[in-house]
């Protein structure tokens, strides 16, 4: 079920999570879906990718370490028209912030393959037109 939308090879997908093991799992799942994962363990890495790379979708962990959230990345992506899913185990507390970010909500824990397929849902054709 992971091999949902992205049949085109080489689509780049940004994955942000401050937990390395979750990031690793998502990286594999993005590869399994036939895309190229660009991973970020912290906000600055994610911002650099969002602003410097050509990506088709993103998976964003909402609450990051040091009290940071993914909001700046979400904003940068929204400006570029890149769809993203918000992957969070913190829905109770982040409610307000998350709502303001828009994007598709995927609660943690959700199997990585499902997270990736939700992220790729919005992009029916990513064969790099």
User: What's phi and psi for 41, nearest 5 deg?
Assistant: -95, -15
Locate the DSSP E strands across the chain: 12-16, 36-40, 57-61, 84-88, 104-107
Site membership for another protein, residue 112 (CB under 8 A): yes
Residues 6+ apart with CB under 8 A from 85: 57, 58, 59, 60, 103, 104, 105, 106, 115, 118, 119
Site membership for another protein, residue 59 (CB under 8 A): no
- The region of 3-11, 51-59, 67-75, 102-110 touching another protein under the rule CB under 8 A is 102-110
Helix (H, G, I), strand (E, B) or coil at 35: coil
Strand order in the sheet with 57-61: 36-40, 12-16, 57-61, 84-88, 104-107
Site membership for another protein, residue 99 (CB under 8 A): no
Among 21, 52, 54, 129, binds another protein (CB under 8 A): 21
Residue 128 CB, nearest distance to another protein (Å)? 27
Site membership for another protein, residue 24 (CB under 8 A): yes
Is 64 or 126 the residue whose CB approaches another protein more closely? 64
Among 9, 109, 125, 128, binds another protein (CB under 8 A): 109
Q: Which residues bind another protein (CB under 8 A)?
A: 19, 21-22, 24-26, 28-29, 63, 89-90, 92-93, 107-112
């Amino acid at each position: 079920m992971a091999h949902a939308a992205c049949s085109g090879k080489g689509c780049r997908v940004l994955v942000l999570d401050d937990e390395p093991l979750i990031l690793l799992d998502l990286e594999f799942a993005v590869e399994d879906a036939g895309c190229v994962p660009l991973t970020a363990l912290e906000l600055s890495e994610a911002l650099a990718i969002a602003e410097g790379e050509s990506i088709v979708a993103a998976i964003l962990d909402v609450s990051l370490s040091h009290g940071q959230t993914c909001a700046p990345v979400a904003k940068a992506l929204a400006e570029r028209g890149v769809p993203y899913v918000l992957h969070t185990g913190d829905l109770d507390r982040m409610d307000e912030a998350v709502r303001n970010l828009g994007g598709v909500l995927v609660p943690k824990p959700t199997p990585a393959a499902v997270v990736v397929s939700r992220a790729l849902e919005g992009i029916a054709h990513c064969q790099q037109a």
